[in-house]
Amino acid sequence: MLTKIAIDSQWGGPAGGVNDSTIGTIKELKKRGFYIYGSRESALGILHNDYRNFSEYGERKLRKIQQRPGAYLCTSKFPHIDERVAADIVAALKKKDAHYIFLTGGDSTANIARLINNAAKSAHYELIVVHRPKTIDNDLWLNDHTCGFGDAARTAALLTYGLDQENQSTRGFMLVSSQGRRNSDLAQAHALIINGNQQPLVYTPSHDFQLKYFMEDAEENYKLSKHNRFSHGRALIIFSEGIHRINRDEQGNEIKDKKGNTTYTDIGEDAANRFGIPVKKDPNGVPTFDTCALALYLACELRQNFPNVPVRMADPSYILRSFPLSSPVDSIEAEYVGRMAVRYAIDMNLGSGSVVIKRSGEGHTYSMYTEYAPLEEVAGKTKESNIENSGKYHKNVSQSFYDYAGPLIGPIKGFSDIDHLLPGKFDLTTILPHDELVYGWMKEDRTTLRQTRHSPAKLQERTINMFKGQTQEL
């Protein structure tokens, strides 16, 4: 019988839902008599035996941690985790006699979980490795959405609404930068509660970005807002850090690589070259660009083309990750994910794997449920953004995205007239599957819990069968 010692860890960047998932897991493990340790700075804490002893934390302290934004254990993008480092991590876990480890993060974290799991098998050490989904990029494979996105999207929407009001008051161009290297969802989320006659321009990595057409769009949007010849126009422009242009030859044909894939150049690279800023790479070898430099680059181009129009910039990128404007939907779902991680791995005896978030309701009847997938199914895999969310001319946000993301940011006081948001009196207890787990921890009125079309018993049966390579319809 395995010793009841478990390690909890938080990877990647901080985000909403990180602490919720951790606390959800801790609470379930405590019910089962586990000793739980939290590794500080993910891999570094494991390798250097730097832990927080969660077994000594009472309910009040856990509740305070859960209410905090950011990552309580301090996240870390370890320089590079390969098979050798994974083996060192397993050796450190073996020394602590820990047979369970829970990791919160995105696709890179899922891949690390896979490496640790494989290293444990090679070392003939029995270890259960569980991945919990978290990324504000919202691009994790198999997941409808991920923990952290709802929080970031809510903050982005509220901040940008304020910037839009500023732009209406002072006129001119307002540039708003957003995180998101290859996914469009976070940039589009900035427009979720801007409910007026003039919608913002939104540029994402899903489509080719050409400076010439950008200038034409900006001028057209600016002129549309002018009511008479005595007024000044305005335009709110949102762009993702991952916008890029397709490389073309002198004849205008796309330049392909040896595998036949279209090549492109990041606009962030153009900005870095213009201002003499060296292009850095993250631990996974992906180039990282300064969103402030990118905003300044676009601002300089606008000022050069429109010398008499005020140009202002805002870069709320890092604010979105740890600002205390949490989505109640994201918080509830993240804790549920943390709890289900324990149930899948231990109660259902499914062992190592990744919790997957699915959607079972839409609009004002929004609800979700979870499944469990082998680590190999999500490790290092991301999904493409839905190109239909970019609007007709790929510079706006379509209704399909409003309907998709609106429920995830939760109800917002004062915006009840926006139909794609949840209503102010929405019963948050209806989001989760109706089962004994919900009755055990939700603090809202439990008498209003409704049965979703996905019953817990059926979901559990389906998850077990899918995990064992069998599929069946709900």
Q: pLDDT by residue (tens digit) across 358-414?
A: 999 899 999 999 999 999 999 999 998 888 888 777 888 999 999 999 999 999 999
| pLDDT for res 439 | 44
pLDDT at res. 97: 97
> Class for domain 151-322, per CATH?
alpha beta
Strands 353-361 and 367-373: antiparallel
Q: Is 138 exposed, middle or buried (0-12, 13-18, 19+ CB in 10 A)?
A: buried
- pLDDT, residue 389, reads 85
Alpha carbons 45 and 39: distance in angstroms, whole number? 5
Give, rounded to a whole angstrom, the gap between the first and last alpha carbons of the chain: 34
**Residue 283 near residue 301 (C-beta atoms within 8 A):** no
Cα–Cα distances in Å, from 39 out to 47, 103, 312? 9, 10, 42
**Residue 308's pLDDT band (boundaries 50, 70, 90)?**
very high
> d(Cα 108, Cα 139) in Å, to the nearest integer?
11
Residues 288-301, mean pLDDT to the nearest whole number: 86
Give me the helices (H) in 73-148, please: 83-95, 107-122
Report d(CA 24, CA 191) in Å as an integer. Answer: 31
Q: Which amino acid is at 37?
A: Y
Contact 25, 339 (CB under 8 A): yes
Over range 323-350, report the average pLDDT. 95
Task: Please say whether the beta carbons of 442 and 429 come within 8 A.
Answer: yes
Question: What would the mean pLDDT of 213-224 be, rounded to a whole number?
Answer: 92
Cβ contact 320:332 at 8 Å? no
- Residue 4, pLDDT > 50, answer yes
Mean of pLDDT values over 311-325:
91
For strands 264-266 and 244-246, give the pairing. Answer: antiparallel
Establish how many alpha carbons lie within 13 A of residue 423's alpha carbon, considering only the half-sphere containing its beta carbon.
5
Residue 466: pLDDT band (50, 70, 90) is: low
**What is the per-residue pLDDT for 229?**
53
Kindly report the CA angle at 419 between 415 and 421, in degrees rounded to 5?
60
Mean pLDDT of the chain: 88
pLDDT in tens, 134-179: 999 999 999 999 999 999 999 999 999 999 999 999 999 999 999 8
- In this predicted structure, the answer to whether residue 217 has a pLDDT above a threshold of 70 is yes
Mean pLDDT of 292-298: 90
The average pLDDT across 430-434 equals 85
The answer to whether 5-148+324-382+422-467 and 151-322 have equal CATH topology is yes
Are the beta carbons of 264 and 247 closer than 8 angstroms? yes
Find the DSSP H helices in 225-327.
Answer: 267-275, 291-305, 319-322
Q: What's the whole-number mean pLDDT along residues 75-84?
A: 82
Q: Are the C-beta atoms of residues 6 and 100 closer than 8 Å to each other?
A: yes
What CA–CA distance (Å, rounded) separates 473 from 52? 43
Alpha-carbon span 85 to 78, nearest angstrom: 10
**Could you tell me if 8 and 36 are in contact, meaning their C-beta atoms sit under 8 angstroms apart?**
yes
pLDDT-above-70 percentage for the chain:
88
What pairing do the DSSP bridges indicate for beta strands 100-105 and 5-10? parallel
* Interacting residues of 128 by C-beta distance below 8 A, sequence separation 6+: 99, 100, 101, 345, 346, 351, 352
Alpha-carbon span 421 to 433, nearest angstrom: 21
Contacts of 124 (CB under 8 A, 6+ apart): none
pLDDT at 32 over 70: yes
Q: How far apart are CA 185 and CA 194, in angstroms?
A: 16
How is domain 5-148+324-382+422-467 classified at the CATH fold level? Rossmann fold (3.40.50)
Domain ranges in the chain?
A: 5-148+324-382+422-467, 151-322
Structure tokens at 222: 């600016």
Q: Can you list the positions of beta strands (E) in 191-345?
A: 201-203, 234-240, 244-246, 264-266, 280-281, 287-288, 311-314
- What's the token pair of residue 383? 């999904």
In angstroms, what is the C-alpha Rg of the chain? 23
Using one digit for the tens of pLDDT, what is the confidence trace for 228-275? 454 568 999 999 988 999 999 988 899 998 888 889 888 988 888 888
